[in-house]
Amino acid sequence: MKLTPRIIVTPRPSMTLSVPDGISRVEFFNSPANLKNLAEENGLFRTPEDLLMYRKLVGHSAEFDTSVILDVSRRILDPLGRPVRRDQMKRQQKKVWQQMTQIICDYMLEKYPDPKKHLVLCGEASLDSTWPLNKPGVPSIRMIHNHFMVFSKKELKSAEIANPNDPNLTDSGHNTLFLRQLSDVYRQFLDVLDLQILKPLLSDEGALELTGYPQGLPSWEVIGGADKLKDQYFWHEYEQVLLGFLDFYQTFFTLVATGEESIPDDSTFPSQIQDVLLSNSVFIRVARDLREQVIQDPKFANDIRWRPAYKQILYRDDEGRLIVTISQNSVGNAITELLGIVVNRVEDPEAYAEIEPGLVGRLLEVREKLLDANIGEALSAPCWPDGNYKPRPI
């Protein structure tokens, strides 16, 4: 079978949310009013640390699909002042974030135990607060979120083939930059990480059989599998992967922005930056070539994300191993596209009504696991006013 990205068609209901005249949809989506509506209409669970679990109404998967977002919209009204990366979260927020991730991942792995039948993943994404509010395609809620999904591999196998040159599959061209030109130095730089639970994989070793993705990104196997998600040291190592990525990203784009070879003030691995990155002729040349392109091409310059933006994912591969990988995050592309899955979300209320009872039922099941952990409280919504599914009118 040819390895190629796939297009999944997922139905969604009609959207009843009205955007006031005079502002764009993106501007409204970043408003506290929208976040309030999100919690009231689709909220499932909230913790005292402002972590909100909600149903993805315009989602990716018809099987299992939910997100946890750090919803600080009620405390921080400025969208540009909200945390957008895990390293910006407070210690207690991060602790509960990790606990919720472990509980939801455990549920998915127990519910879908066969790696040949289902793809299980959770993907954490930063939403870059430096991006213009009215930029088309910018993520709609400007706060960090973790997305949990399950896909049927039978459906993936029969899905249409996607265009591998789709900008969203190539990170708007930036994937080519990292993959084709910086892959070796990127991997060498991340070798500094002292990891015991996360074992580095060879290039493409953890790639999915159906899509061949992720392509060439640094990846690590979780030695010990799902049980290690309960181990605090796993989360320490998961954090080290992020911090290493942030150092690489900041060093590279600082060089692009200023033309100066410097070590960022807040770097975690300054010696490795000096010894591996700033002494590497390819790293310096690629940054300077990109700098010249930014100077000459205003459209390209407008696509650069100057501040660190990432997608860090944990997924189960075809052999049943849990794999961690991380990539830069471009405007418009989704967590699923890191694994070669393009989701076409089509408005189809009738089709969505057929899948909604099962989808919501599974979300309510995993919510019970969170309630048992005593870390937050259940939320009511029109489709689950008393903890049970209630169909919406079509």
What percent of the chain has pLDDT above 70? 90
What was the pLDDT predicted at 172?
A: 45
Pure H helices in 64-202:
91-111, 153-158, 174-176, 183-190
Domain of 188, in residue numbers = 6-225+307-378
Domain contains 196: yes
Position 166 in a domain: yes
The angle that helices 281-296 and 232-258 make with each other, rounded to 10 degrees, is: 60
User: What's the residue count for the chain?
Assistant: 394
- DSSP summary character for residue 31: S
User: Is residue 294 included in any domain, yes or no?
Assistant: no
Task: Tell me the pLDDT tens digit for each residue of 197-211.
Answer: 999 998 778 899 999
Q: Which residues of the chain fall below pLDDT 50? A: 139, 172
Q: Under 8 Å CB-to-CB from 281, ≥6 apart: which residues?
A: none
CA distance linking residue 123 with residue 101, whole number of Å: 10
The per-residue pLDDT for range 273-288, each reduced to its tens digit, is 999 999 999 999 999 9
Q: Is residue 131 part of a domain?
A: yes
pLDDT in tens, 338-353: 899 999 999 999 999 9
Q: Indicate the pTM of the whole model.
A: 0.92
Q: Total domain count for the chain?
A: 1
The token pair at 84 is 């957008």
Instruction: Confirm whether 125 is domain-assigned.
Output: yes
Has residue 25 been placed in a domain? yes
Is there a domain that residue 301 lies in? no
Query: Does residue 148 form part of some domain?
Result: yes
